[in-house]
Amino acid sequence: MQALLKLSSGIDAFTRWTGKRLAWLILLAVIISAVNAIVRKTFDTSSNSWLELQWVLFSIVFLLCSPWTLLDNEHIRIDIVNNALPKTARNVIDVVGHLFFLIPLCIVMIITGVPFFLRSFQINEQSGNAGGLPQWPAKSLIMIGFAFLLVQGISELIKRIAVMRGLMPDPHESQVSALEAEVEHLVEAIEKK
pLDDT in tens, 76-124: 777 777 778 888 998 999 999 999 999 999 999 999 999 999 999 999 9
In this prediction, residues 51-74 reach a mean pLDDT of 94
Query: According to the model, what pLDDT value does residue 85 have?
Result: 86
Q: Is the pLDDT of residue 176 over 60?
A: no
**pLDDT tens, 138-163?**
999 999 999 999 999 999 999 999 99
Q: Please give the model's pTM, rounded to 2 decimal places.
A: 0.84
Give the type of residue at 78: I
The percent of residues in the chain predicted with pLDDT above 70, rounded, is: 96
pLDDT tier at 175, thresholds 50, 70, 90: low
In this prediction, residues 52-71 reach a mean pLDDT of 95
Range name among 45-49, 65-69, 117-121, 164-168 with the lowest pLDDT average: 45-49
Rounded CA-CA distance 114/142 in Å is 8
Query: According to the model, what pLDDT value does residue 178 have?
Result: 61
Domain range list for the chain = 2-192
Q: What does the mean pLDDT of the chain come to?
A: 91
Query: According to the model, what pLDDT value does residue 174 have?
Result: 67
In this prediction, residues 59-64 reach a mean pLDDT of 96
Other CB atoms within 10 A of residue 121 CB: 15
Query: According to the model, what pLDDT value does residue 179 have?
Result: 61
Query: According to the model, what pLDDT value does residue 49 have?
Result: 92
Q: What is the DSSP string of the chain?
A: -HHHHHHHHHHHHHHHHHHHHHTTHHHHHHHHHHHHHHHHHHHS---HHHHHHHHHHHHHHHHHSHHHHHHTT-S---HHHHHHS-HHHHHHHHHHHIIIIIHHHHHHHHHHHHHHHHHHHHTT-B-SSTT--BSHHHHHHHHHHHHHHHHHHHHHHHHHHHHHTTSS--TTHHHHHHHHHHHHHHHHHHHH-
